[in-house]
Structure 1
């Protein structure tokens, strides 16, 4: 359990949920300026363990804590990747992942960040014909997910979920944002 909204010099940390954390985790790790990525549980009050969160009764979302250098990767680009690589118009569902733990959510640490995230949702809405249902929630305690969920794609790219759900998102990232890919991005 940590307070995840820490500013370390010029670095900034945001916590976003876009369905299964394995997806956003794998995408964030490929972006320039990203210093740290952690799959986490937050937004609820129940036990912060995978089985309990998956049951959908804890209130926690699967989310990703992304620490990045906004001088290298503008927050607006990170938000564009976030909105474009999941369906923010789908309530509590991303593909086959169903339940409140898979909600589209942006966590804010203060009023300034809340305003920034509201503006990001408003800007993203222009790209969608259906209303965006991404929720804004205050950032509370962040619980690191179990070790097997950290960099899941990097460790297990051959798993079916990775091949059928994450690979197309990585291909989209390469097509749409090649200028924002880190030099050492895996193939």
Structure 2
């Protein structure tokens, strides 16, 4: 208890306005909608929390930036409210996208592109690992109760082929390599 009293008696740490400010939202309560989200402001260079704003709106961010004019770079997600708040509160600051949102956007773009050109891609499995008769050819299921969509059809065909190969005595590792 003495140690806790001593720590509690310490003054709150002072911080200088960060040069590079990170702006992102977080859920106040787990599994809630965006109405229960707040904004966390971080110093990107020091990796510490600078402040927490009560909402995800432009007004509080703009007001905070006006009170702290030394911010040069604002690293944020693509939320329109954060863009507007940064524009109003620090018009001279450079706004950049944060790394996680860039990676997420890139991942979605690659996934969409690959899905659109899936038929152009070759089978990446090395030839000769398993008998030629067991290779996937069309990717279409053979029974009457075919699932809807090409992805579901390929999944069902791969599932059937997996069981056939296992019944033929191939190891799980060899089947996994073959099917990729």
Is the pair's TM-score, using the shorter chain for normalization, greater than 0.5? no
Normalising by the smaller structure, the TM-score range is under 0.3
Q: Which has the higher strand share?
A: 1
With normalisation by structure 1, the TM-score equals 0.22
Of Structure 1 and Structure 2, the greater helix share is in: 2
**TM-score scaled by structure 2?**
0.23
